[in-house]
Amino acid sequence: MAKRKSGGWLETVKTVVYAGLIAIGIRTVAFEPFNIPSASMVPTLLVGDYLFVSKYSYGYSRFSMPFSPRLWEGRLLGAMPERGDVAVFRWPRDDSTDYIKRIIGLPGDRIQVIGGLLYINGTPVRREAAGLCEQDGTGVRIRSRRYRETLPNGRTHFICEFSDQERFDNTEEYRVPAGHVFAMGDNRDNSSDSRDFGPAGVGYVPIENLIGRAEIIFFSHEGPFWQVWNWRFGRFLDVIR
């Protein structure tokens, strides 16, 4: 009887260990959950969105692993992101901090913003009025202008602009170096991104720092988690574009 009881505990421990290893494996090579803590990607992503990031989209670097051990340099099975991807990456100035932005520029691209309008390789990106951005997910009404932006590869997404004369609405021309990408938030006037090379900015993002591509929102809420009436059911299973 005692042996059977002991064996039962052993089987339980083994099951828990196996389940943990499987979860770590999935998180490392397939999908990792990520939550949105700021309004920098409004209107695409709201504060309180929870999403899955595909780890295999760009291959694997040390940042794909738990605790980012320095087991190798560069990327294994590496693939270049597409312009317009919403990607999670490690902040170049502190590789313990995750950021999420939209990939706008690829290696060799020239990126500039003039009067709020994005230019890629000297050509203005098409921007069409699309109403208003009215909230960021915390209940705060932001009331900025909403535009549909179409990138050179045909990818479209929405952005928010308070005006066309904010800090990063008129920039120098950036030349994306080899091995890097240029990332911007969709909430253009409320985003620390590759336009900012200051101490709190992002600058160019090394491709090695990419963690994965944001794929789908699996849960979303506004306010305390336990308030089911504040769950945003309409955002569940939204594909991120």
Which candidate, 33, 34, 31, 95, places its Cα nearest to that of 57?
31
Catalytic residue of the set 38, 61, 64, 101: 101
Measured CA to CA in angstroms, residue 24 lies from 12, 18, 70, 175 at distances of 18, 10, 18, 38
Let me know if 101 is a catalytic residue. Answer: yes
Catalytic residue of the set 40, 191, 194, 220: 40
Sign of CA dihedral 13, 62, 201, 122: negative
Let me know if 6 is a catalytic residue. Answer: no
Distance CA 198, CA 206 (A): 17
Torsion angle defined by CA atoms of residues 157, 37, 195 and 170, in that order, rounded to the nearest 10 degrees: 70
The Cβ of residue 4 has, within 10 Å, a number of other Cβ atoms equal to 7
Give the chain's length. Answer: 241
- According to DSSP, residue 10 is labeled H
Is 94 within 8 Å of 149 (Cβ atoms)? no
Per DSSP bridges, beta strands 141-150 and 205-206 are unpaired
Just list the catalytic residues. Answer: 40, 101
